[in-house]
Amino acid sequence: MNRRIACFVLSLWCLAATGCTESPFTSRATAQDAEPTSAVSVEPTAAEPSPWAAATPTQTPTDPTPTSTSTPTSPTSPTDAARAALDALDGHTGRYALAVEDLTTGHSLSYGGALEAFVSASIIKVDILAALLLQTQDRGGRLTEEQRRLATAMICESDNDAAHELWIAIGRRQGLDLANVRLGLSAAHAGQSVAWGLTRTTTRDEMALLKAVFTEHSPLSERSRTYMHSLMSAVRADQAWGIGAASSPGTGSSLKNGWLPLDAALPWVVNSEGLIEYGGHSLLIVVLTDNQSTREAGIALIEHSAATVVHTLVAAASA
């Protein structure tokens, strides 16, 4: 017993001498397993998603949606642009058709029906003169002074008496039909027994005639073409309306117009054709109309449609 007391006292003395605070009766396992009491920064652990929770769609980055409206697609060619511009025209009555060819770019357009037939009226005088010149070339000669006088009156003044004299000189219908075969006009002209002013034509045939008059691809000689060009450039001022409205100011035009009152059913036929210059381009153009209430209404339609198609065609080609 005394020995146990002595051992206990000795243990207390050792603890006091070494400064040890741990009690010999404390479990070491308990001391090692305890959570530390100092503050420790711990990364939060994300909770495992519940299998019953609704899935959140994954957001895929996309380009910002533009707020402005898209611009309509422009026509794909100058001829498409010109056709669309003609489609937008309104405010006119009656029927019309036109054909245009830009000799500078090669762009061409037919509108309103290339094979739609119209009464020629006085634009047939260009055809009569072309036939006269072809026949003169075939003989290896030149126009007489009287023929030149009649030709000037027929084209520059639109004199009907002069036209009738030259109509007889070329052999009337038969002579004109033979010439038209060589000039590239179709058989639509053949077989008509009406007076020369009532013959019927199309924009396709008139465009073929204009090419024979104003381009090198023609049975007409350079001398003949130059002569026709000079007369069509000297039409008197009060008859210089029509397709010339589409030309650039100061450039002038080489043209021939036709107008004819028919009857109550088809009041006025008004036509215009020739060569114009616009924006540095040379263009052949023909506009045929009928069923116009007045001559002035026909002129307005020709000038409006000609200016629209020419200006649009050239602008679109230059864009």
CA angle 94, 121, 115 (to 5 degrees): 60
Contact 105, 319 (CB under 8 A): no
Helix (H) or strand (E) holding 287: strand 281-292
The sheet carrying 253-261 orders its strands as 108-111, 95-102, 281-292, 268-278, 253-261
Q: What is the pLDDT of residues 45-93, one digit of tens each?
A: 444 443 333 334 444 444 444 343 434 445 479 999 999 999 998 878 8
39 three-class SS: coil
pLDDT of residue 39: 37
Q: State how far the Cα of 310 lies from the Cα of 290, in Å rounded to an integer.
A: 21
Q: Phi/psi at 135 (nearest 5 deg)?
A: -65, -35
Q: Is 13 helix (H, G, I), strand (E, B) or coil?
A: helix
Say which residues have a Cβ less than 8 Å from residue 102's Cβ, sequence separation at least 6: 78, 108, 281, 282, 283, 313, 314, 317
CA 74/CA 239 separation, integer angstroms = 38
DSSP string computed for 23-74? -TTS-HHHHHHSPP-S----PPPPPPPPTTSPPPPPPPP-PPPP-SPPPPPP
Q: Is residue 240 within 8 Å of 211, Cβ to Cβ? A: no
Residue 311: name the closest of 249, 256, 235 by CA.
249
SS3 24: coil
Tokens found for residue 33: 């397993």
Residue-level pLDDT, tens digit, the chain, 319 residues:
444 444 443 444 334 444 444 443 333 333 333 333 333 333 344 444 433 333 344 444 444 443 434 344 454 799 999 999 999 988 788 999 999 999 999 999 999 988 999 999 999 999 999 999 999 999 999 999 999 999 999 999 999 999 999 999 999 999 999 999 999 998 656 556 778 999 999 999 999 999 999 999 999 999 999 999 999 999 999 999 999 999 999 998 999 999 999 887 769 999 999 999 999 999 999 999 999 999 999 999 999 999 999 999 999 998 8
Which two three-digit tokens encode residue 157? 């003044």
Q: Give the burial class of 173: count Cβ atoms within 10 A of its Cβ; 0-12 exposed, 13-18 middle, 19 or more buried.
A: middle
CA 299 to chain centre: 24
Radius of gyration of the chain (CA): 48
pLDDT of residue 189: 60
Query: For residues 185 and 202, is the Cβ–Cβ distance under 8 A?
Result: no
Whole-number pLDDT of residue 191: 58
Q: Is 252 left (phi over 0), alpha (psi -120 to 50) or beta?
A: left
Query: Which residues lie closer than 8 Å to 89 by C-beta, 6 or more apart?
Result: 304, 305, 308
Count CB atoms within 10 A of the CB of residue 230: 13
- DSSP H helices in 92-221: 124-138, 145-156, 160-169, 172-183, 203-214
